Amino acid sequence: MSARLFCGFLLLAVFLSGLNGSRPAVKQELSTIFNELWSLDVNRMTPGIDYTISIQGRASFVSQGIHTVQDHASQPLLSNVNESKLRNITTFSSFMTLLDNYEEVTEQVTTEELTEMDLFLDAVLETKVMKHSISSSPLGTLRFATMKKPERKWRRILDSSGFEHVFVGETKSGTEIIGFHNWVQFYLQEKNQHLDYKGYKAREHDLPDQDDHVLNLQFSWHGVVKPVGSAFIGTSPEFEMAVFTIVFLMNTERSTTVVVNIDQCQMELVVIRHGRSLGTAYPKLLSSNGRHVRQHAH
């Protein structure tokens, strides 16, 4: 083979690898673990039975800091939520108690709030989802489960600011929503008319539907617009914490993004560190209803 021909093949290989590298490869081992956790998530709510989703219209493009956007969803995103079922499941009920704490913003965390966080973490650590995530992890990073006080490790990872950012949401300078990636908080804020769902965000060929368990969406909260947000829908707190913690513990990089297939969805999971604690974590839906499987088959 001539040097010129070899160089041509080399350039072509580099070009093609660049195309394939536009999106990280699917982490198959992580996908397997996360699907095992998915199967064990007996506390997950069922769409159409425990809650109803109304997808409605596609949200418009809007820049960060804009307060007025066109509303493409006249109805709430979530309705007919079985609140009695939520409050009868220990992890959900203790999680909702924690959400109530953040309704009243205070500078100091009270002893009572720390106790409630410990009760929540204790409940989470008792679930099959969390126990399996610890025992089956190939990462060798979840050994803290053998500690006498594993909730201490959890509290360090998910300190009050990390919990608030991911699961509650915050506003920055009154112009930007940061965090806010939890469906229960979304529902409660929507129910209390603090939040207004504006529509879904998706590519033309990959429209979401009412049984998707991950959604990209746009909303306003206390008058501030989040141009693009995302959240798991219907999942239990323990599932979300298990998934995000496994990604968090994969390495010590400030930002980690992995692509995984869970149930019928392909998604990115993004985890950003803040020192030794969780800064933020969220899913980003790439495709749903098994479309990525069909595309791969073709």
Tell me the β-bridge partners of 76: none
Q: Tokens 């956007």 appear where?
A: 69
In this prediction the pTM is 0.84
**CA angle, residues 159, 88, 116, in degrees to nearest 5:** 25
Q: How far is CA 16 from CA 19, 22, 32, 98, in A?
A: 5, 10, 28, 49
Mean pLDDT, rounded, for 139-160: 53
DSSP string, 80-122: S--HHHHHTSHHHHHHHHHHHHTTS--SS--HHHHHHHHHHHH
- Chain segment 87-103, per-residue pLDDT in tens: 999 999 999 998 887 76
- Chain segment 247-293, per-residue pLDDT in tens: 988 888 999 999 999 999 999 999 998 887 888 999 999 988 665 55
Q: What is the pLDDT of residue 262?
A: 96
Q: What is the pLDDT of residue 32?
A: 94
Q: Is 226 tagged catalytic?
A: yes
Q: Is 172 tagged catalytic?
A: no
Q: What is the pLDDT of residue 164?
A: 82
Catalytic pick from 148, 165, 194, 292? 165
CB 274 within 8 A of CB 162: yes
Catalytic pick from 198, 201, 226, 292? 226
Residue 244 has pLDDT above 80, yes or no: yes
State the average pLDDT for the chain. 82
Residue 147 has pLDDT above 90, yes or no: no
Contacts (Cβ under 8 Å, ≥6 apart) of 222: 171, 194, 195
Q: What number of other Cβ atoms are within 10 A of residue 177's Cβ?
A: 20
pLDDT > 90 fraction of the chain, expressed in percent and rounded: 51
Main-chain phi, psi angles of 5, to 5 degrees: -65, -40
SS3 content of the chain, % helix, strand, coil (to 5): 40, 20, 35
CB 71 within 8 A of CB 59: no
CB 185 within 8 A of CB 169: yes
Catalytic pick from 85, 181, 205, 274? 181
Main-chain phi, psi angles of 13, to 5 degrees: -65, -45
Q: Is 128 tagged catalytic?
A: no
